[in-house]
Chains A and B, each alone.
Chain A
C-alpha cells in the first residue's frame, strides 16, 4: 500500500520539477524497490523490517506493472487493444507452476494427477522438472500462441474492436480449457502448495527477496526496452501504424511484421511477469484467464495514460493499491469505486494520470 502512494506523489512532484528531477525521483523509487528485499532479510523485530506481507503485495503489484507495460506497448504504441493479455500472463504462470509442481512432487507425479489416478505425465509435462526448460516454456508458450494468433489476425487485417473481441474470445476459450481437469493443469484448483524453487524453500526470506529482486529487475529491463523501442524508428513506425495504417502501407511498410513483433514481445513480457507472479502469490488457476482480469489490465493502462510507459505503471499501482485498501475498508463499495474510476478516467482524463500530471507541470 505504501508503494502506489509513493509513486503518485513522486510522479506529481516529478512533473513539477522537470526532467532532471523526475530522473532523480525515478532513481529514488528504484533504490527503495531494490532496498525492500534487503530490508526483508532483517530480523522481524527490526524497525526497518519489511514484512513478507508487504513484500509479496508489492511484488504482486510489480508483476501487474509489467503486464500494464506490456499491454501499453501493444495498445499505446501499436493500437492493438488486447482484452486477452491475462491468457499470456497465465500461460507464463502455468509454465512456472509446472516446474514448481514438479519440484514439490519430487520423483512422483504432481498431487492433483495422482488423485486423478494418472500414472504417467502427459507429453506436455516432459522436461518441466528442468528449470531451464520451464523458463523456455515461460517464453515459448505465450510467445508461440501470440505468434500464431497474431499471424492470422494481422494477415486478415483484423483490427480495432474486432481484434479486442477476438482476444477476449481467445482468453475465454483458454479459461474453459484450463478449467477442465482432463486438460492436465489441475482444473479450477490450479497449482498451489509449492515447496521449493531451485532447491530453495519458497517461503524462506532470502527466496522471497530474490524473487522480488528479479521482479524489479524485469520491470526495469522491460521499461528500458520499451523506452528504447519507443525512441527507435521502430517505435515511430508503430505510432504511424496506430494512426494511419493504410498510409504506412503505401509508404512501403508491411504492418504485419511490425504488429507481430510488438504483439509477441508484449505477450512474452506478460508471460515472464506471470512466471514471477506465481511463486510470489503461491497459486495459479484458470481464473487468471477470465476476461474480466484482462479488461482490468486495460484500465490500468488507460488510467495511467497509454503510450507513456510510465503511466501504465502508475495505473497498475494505483488500481491495485486501491483494491487492496478498499476490499479491507469498504468491501461493498469496491466495485462502485472501480466503476466510477473507469468512467472518470475515460471522460475526464483521456491521457490518464500522466496527462493530468503533465498538464499540472506545465501550468
Chain B
C-alpha cells in the first residue's frame, strides 16, 4: 500500500514539474536570461538574495517595456553549491534554454567551473562579486571589485593618519585562493610602501573555523610591537566567532582596527553587531550611501521583498554584490538596446564604455577593454544597527587591474580580454 502511494506521489510530482516546465515556454516573444545562483547548499546563504535581486531588476526593466520591445524572461536554475553542477547548469542554460545572457556565480571556483562552457559556446556571463582577479575572459563581464578596487585602497586608508597610521599588519584569512592571492598582493604593496617583512604576519584558518582564541592572542602579542591593523579575508561564517573573540578579549577598534573584505550588510544581519562597532569594511557600495538613486534602490528592494514575502522580509538589506547585480543587468539591457540585438558578440562590443548611474552615487563605466567596471572605493565603519557609515572614499571610480601589478609576470599579460587558450 505504502509503496503504491509512494509511486503515486512520484507521478504526481512529476506532472507538477512538467507543468512548471511548460510555464517557462508559454510566452513567444521574450528574451530569456539565465540566473545561475545556488539556492540550496552552503552558498545559498549568500546567493539566494542575488537571485531575488536579479528577478527584481528584470521585473523593473520589464515594467519599463522590456528590452528591444520584448519582455525579459528569467530562467532560474539551482546549481546547489556544487561546482561541477555549475558547469552542467551553465551548459543547460546555453544549449537547452538558449538564454541571451546569464547573471550568476558567487565563488571563484563556480565561475572557473562555468568559464570553459561559456567560452566554448560563446555565452555571456555577468559576475557580480569581488574576487582575486587574475582573470579576464571575453565571455565574462566582472561587475564586482578587483583587488585594487577594494583591498589596496583599504590598506592605504589604514596607513593614513585618519585610519590610525598603522605600522604593522596582521593579514588573517581563510585558507583558500581569494585570501591567499589578496594577501600576496597586499604584502607586495606593503613592502613597496616601506613596511618591513617582520611587520607583516599572515595567518590562515581552515573553512568553518570557529575557535579564534589562539589567533586573537597572537594578534594581541603582535600588536604590542606597534600600531597594528588587522586585514581580514576571513570567509563568511567564521567572522562571527572571530569578532566575538576580539571583543571579549577586550580589543576595540580604536586599539586594533580590523578591515574586512567579506563582511557586508547581508553578513551583519546574522551577527550581534555590538562587538563590531567601529570595525571597518571596504566595498564599492554601502546601503547607507545617501543619494536619490540609492534611496530608490533600497526602497524598491524592500518593497519587492515584502511583495514576494521573502524570508525575513522586514529586515532585508542591500549590499555590494546586489548592487553589482543590479548594475550589471541594467548595463546589459542598455547594451542590447544599443546593439539592437542580443547577439553575444555585438552586445560585447556595445558593453564597452557603457555607463550607468549606480546606487553608489557614481556613474559607473564599463572599461573599454578589460571587462571590469570602474568603481569607487569606500571604507566604512560598522554601526550598531548593522549598517555602515562611510569614513573615506575615493574621489571617483577607479579602473580595475585584474592583473595586479604586484604579482610577478602580470606585466606581460594583455590588458584586454582573450580566451584563456
Contact with A along B68-101 (1 / 0, CB 8 A): 0000000011111011110111011001100000
CA distance A344 to B408 in the complex (A): 56
Indicate if the CB atoms of B80 and A327 lie closer than 8 Å. Answer: yes
CA distance A133 to B3 in the complex (A): 50
Max count, chain B CB within 10 A of own CB: residue among A57, A281, A348: A281
Give chain B nearest CB distance to A273 CB in angstroms.
13
Indicate if the CB atoms of B116 and A282 lie closer than 8 Å. Answer: yes
Asked if A308 is an interface residue, CB under 8 A from chain B, the answer is no
Indicate if the CB atoms of B177 and A188 lie closer than 8 Å. Answer: yes
Among the listed stretches B106-114, B216-224, B302-310, B331-339, which one makes contact with chain A, having 4 or more residues with CB under 8 Å of it? Answer: B106-114
Indicate if the CB atoms of A330 and B112 lie closer than 8 Å. Answer: no
Contact with A along B180-218 (1 / 0, CB 8 A): 110010000000000000000000101100000000000
Residues of chain B with a CB closer than 8 A to A250's CB: none
CA distance A221 to B82 in the complex (A): 29
Asked if A56 is an interface residue, CB under 8 A from chain B, the answer is yes
CA distance A115 to B408 in the complex (A): 7
CA distance A285 to B6 in the complex (A): 36
Asked if A104 is an interface residue, CB under 8 A from chain B, the answer is yes
Indicate if the CB atoms of A56 and B109 lie closer than 8 Å. Answer: no
Give chain A nearest CB distance to B39 CB in angstroms.
4
Interface residues on B, range: 35 or more
Asked if B50 is an interface residue, CB under 8 A from chain A, the answer is no
Indicate if the CB atoms of B78 and A192 lie closer than 8 Å. Answer: no
Residues of chain B with a CB closer than 8 A to A179's CB: 175-176, 206-207
Asked if A203 is an interface residue, CB under 8 A from chain B, the answer is yes
CA distance A192 to B112 in the complex (A): 6
Nearest A residue to B93, CB-CB:
A53
Among the listed stretches A160-168, A256-264, A331-339, which one makes contact with chain B, having 4 or more residues with CB under 8 Å of it? Answer: A331-339
Asked if B20 is an interface residue, CB under 8 A from chain A, the answer is yes
Residues of chain A with a CB closer than 8 A to B77's CB: 327-328, 331
CA distance A203 to B420 in the complex (A): 14
Indicate if the CB atoms of B95 and A52 lie closer than 8 Å. Answer: yes
Determine which of B95, B175, B177 lies in contact with A51 in the assembled complex, contact meaning CB atoms within 8 Å.
B95
Give chain B nearest CB distance to A35 CB in angstroms.
20
Give chain A nearest CB distance to B29 CB in angstroms.
24
Indicate if the CB atoms of B84 and A53 lie closer than 8 Å. Answer: no
Determine which of A51, A283, A331, A335 lies in contact with B112 in the assembled complex, contact meaning CB atoms within 8 Å.
A283
How many pairs of residues, A versus B, come closer than 8 Å at their CB atoms? 130
Determine which of B76, B108, B116, B408 lies in contact with A194 in the assembled complex, contact meaning CB atoms within 8 Å.
B116
Indicate if the CB atoms of A281 and B40 lie closer than 8 Å. Answer: no
Give chain A nearest CB distance to B262 CB in angstroms.
14
Indicate if the CB atoms of A283 and B84 lie closer than 8 Å. Answer: yes
Residues of chain A with a CB closer than 8 A to B177's CB: 112, 181, 186-189
Asked if A180 is an interface residue, CB under 8 A from chain B, the answer is yes
Nearest B residue to A359, CB-CB:
B3
Give chain B nearest CB distance to A358 CB in angstroms.
14
Residues of chain B with a CB closer than 8 A to A117's CB: 184, 407-409
Residues of chain B with a CB closer than 8 A to A114's CB: 409
Indicate if the CB atoms of A281 and B88 lie closer than 8 Å. Answer: yes
Asked if A266 is an interface residue, CB under 8 A from chain B, the answer is no
Nearest B residue to A349, CB-CB:
B3
Residues of chain B with a CB closer than 8 A to A332's CB: 39-40
Residues of chain A with a CB closer than 8 A to B28's CB: none
Determine which of B88, B108, B115 lies in contact with A193 in the assembled complex, contact meaning CB atoms within 8 Å.
B115
Asked if B421 is an interface residue, CB under 8 A from chain A, the answer is yes
Residues of chain A with a CB closer than 8 A to B115's CB: 192-193
Determine which of A53, A111, A344 lies in contact with B96 in the assembled complex, contact meaning CB atoms within 8 Å.
A53
Asked if B120 is an interface residue, CB under 8 A from chain A, the answer is yes
Contact with B along A99-136 (1 / 0, CB 8 A): 00000100000011011110000000000000000000
Indicate if the CB atoms of A180 and B184 lie closer than 8 Å. Answer: no
Residues of chain B with a CB closer than 8 A to A13's CB: none
Give chain A nearest CB distance to B406 CB in angstroms.
10
B-side binding surface: helix, strand, loop or mixed?
Answer: helix
Residues of chain B with a CB closer than 8 A to A188's CB: 107-109, 176-177
Determine which of B40, B87, B175, B180 lies in contact with A283 in the assembled complex, contact meaning CB atoms within 8 Å.
B87
Determine which of B3, B78, B184 lies in contact with A327 in the assembled complex, contact meaning CB atoms within 8 Å.
B78
Given A179-B207, A187-B176, A348-B3, A193 and B116 contact (CB-CB distance below 8 Å): yes
Determine which of A176, A186, A189 lies in contact with B206 in the assembled complex, contact meaning CB atoms within 8 Å.
A176
Residues of chain A with a CB closer than 8 A to B63's CB: none
Determine which of A324, A329, A348 lies in contact with B20 in the assembled complex, contact meaning CB atoms within 8 Å.
A329
Asked if B25 is an interface residue, CB under 8 A from chain A, the answer is no
Give chain B nearest CB distance to A203 CB in angstroms.
5
B359-417 contacts to A, CB under 8 A, are 407-410
Indicate if the CB atoms of B88 and A189 lie closer than 8 Å. Answer: no
Give chain A nearest CB distance to B141 CB in angstroms.
18
Indicate if the CB atoms of A329 and B17 lie closer than 8 Å. Answer: yes
CA distance A115 to B410 in the complex (A): 8
Indicate if the CB atoms of B17 and A325 lie closer than 8 Å. Answer: yes
Determine which of B82, B176, B421 lies in contact with A104 in the assembled complex, contact meaning CB atoms within 8 Å.
B421
Asked if B117 is an interface residue, CB under 8 A from chain A, the answer is yes
CA distance A144 to B309 in the complex (A): 54
CA distance A203 to B421 in the complex (A): 12
CA distance A52 to B6 in the complex (A): 33
A177-204 contacts to B, CB under 8 A, are 179-181, 186-190, 192-195, 203
Nearest B residue to A44, CB-CB:
B95
Give chain B nearest CB distance to A331 CB in angstroms.
3
Residues of chain B with a CB closer than 8 A to A189's CB: 108-109, 112, 176-177
Asked if A29 is an interface residue, CB under 8 A from chain B, the answer is no
Give chain A nearest CB distance to B181 CB in angstroms.
7
Determine which of B13, B21, B83, B184 lies in contact with A116 in the assembled complex, contact meaning CB atoms within 8 Å.
B184
Indicate if the CB atoms of B17 and A285 lie closer than 8 Å. Answer: no
Indicate if the CB atoms of B180 and A187 lie closer than 8 Å. Answer: yes
CA distance A176 to B17 in the complex (A): 38
Contact with B along A45-65 (1 / 0, CB 8 A): 000000111001100100000
Indicate if the CB atoms of B82 and A287 lie closer than 8 Å. Answer: yes
Give chain B nearest CB distance to A92 CB in angstroms.
15
Residues of chain B with a CB closer than 8 A to A115's CB: 134, 181, 407, 409-410
Indicate if the CB atoms of B88 and A60 lie closer than 8 Å. Answer: yes
Determine which of B40, B79, B96, B204 lies in contact with A335 in the assembled complex, contact meaning CB atoms within 8 Å.
B40
Indicate if the CB atoms of B420 and A193 lie closer than 8 Å. Answer: yes
Asked if A356 is an interface residue, CB under 8 A from chain B, the answer is yes
Residues of chain A with a CB closer than 8 A to B204's CB: 180
- Nearest 7 A-B pairs (CB), nearest first? A331-B78, A329-B17, A188-B176, A281-B84, A192-B112, A331-B39, A181-B180
For this complex, 17 residue pairs linking A to B, each with C-beta atoms less than 8 Å apart, are A52-B95, A53-B88, A53-B96, A56-B91, A111-B420, A114-B409, A179-B176, A179-B206, A190-B109, A192-B115, A283-B84, A283-B87, A325-B17, A331-B76, A331-B77, A348-B3, A356-B3
